[in-house]
Amino acid sequence: MKTARRTFLIYWLPVIALCAAIVVQSNYPSPDFGPFFPLKDKVLHMAAYGILAALFYRACRVTWPGRLSPAQLLAISVCFATLFGVSDEIHQSFVAARQADAMDGVADFAGSVLGALAYMGLTSRGGRCFLSRTGRRR
């Protein structure tokens, strides 16, 4: 029981928390913070959904070790994050001061692919983990 609770808290709670933060933020007008640059909104979408896909990949990889190949984990993570992004765009179409944008969905997909690929690359190449100093898994 302790292992299941620990797995949930460490791996699945961040996924749920990020999903909740995205939904809550979608209920308010777009925040205007930081410096302005072209396509800032799309970059923020790519970052958020890239992180979501990476977190989902990480949670699935630990929860079901050896059951899914890295390619399957990649596909599932990208599908989850992209579908969540599309559902959030639909949600925004019903919120005052917000609007649905198909290009946001494209940015969500692109970010999902990049995030999941980045996490897969950091953890799956030849059994080496590039996050550790020795290059070996911890």
pLDDT tens figures, 14-67? 999 999 999 999 988 776 766 777 888 899 999 999 999 999 999 999 998 888
Reported pTM: 0.84
Two structure tokens written together for 64? 């079901």
Average pLDDT of the segment spanning 58-78: 92
Residue 82's alpha-carbon distances to 56, 59, 138, in angstroms, are 12, 17, 31
pLDDT of residue 39: 83
Neighbouring CB atoms inside 10 A of 35's CB total: 5
Query: Domain boundaries in the chain?
Result: 2-22+40-127
In whole angstroms, what is the distance from residue 123 CA to residue 137 CA? Answer: 8
